Amino acid sequence: MKNTFINDTWSGVMDHNKNPLRNYPLATAHMLMQMLAWMWSAVFSILIGSYFVFGITAIGHGLVISALFITLTIFQQAEQKEKSILPQDGN
């Protein structure tokens, strides 16, 4: 029972097919989840009174969000093949 509760709760928040953000496009849902992660890291850092830690985590989350967003964008473009992200050599 306890393990099922933990799994259901985790899936309800972290699984993009089950959480309330499933109605948004994947890129939008991803960015919103990253913004929520950043918000919660700020809340917990401020809660424990460590503003220095918040600065480090804010920079870290910013880098992770940027890297994941760039990766997601490249993967979506490759999947859709709408436009090339690399210069064409004339072939």
Q: Which of 31, 23, 41, 38 is nearest to 70 (CA)?
A: 31
CA 83 – CA 4 distance, rounded (Å): 44
Please provide the average confidence, as pLDDT, over all residues in the chain.
75
User: Residues 52-61: pLDDT tens digits?
Assistant: 677 777 788 7
Across the range 27-44, mean pLDDT stands at: 82
Q: Are 85 and 70 in contact (CB under 8 A)?
A: no
Under 8 Å CB-to-CB from 66, ≥6 apart: which residues?
none
User: Residues 61-87: pLDDT tens digits?
Assistant: 788 878 877 777 777 777 776 555 556
pLDDT confidence band for 31 (50 / 70 / 90)? confident
* φ, ψ of residue 19 in degrees (nearest 5): -75, 165
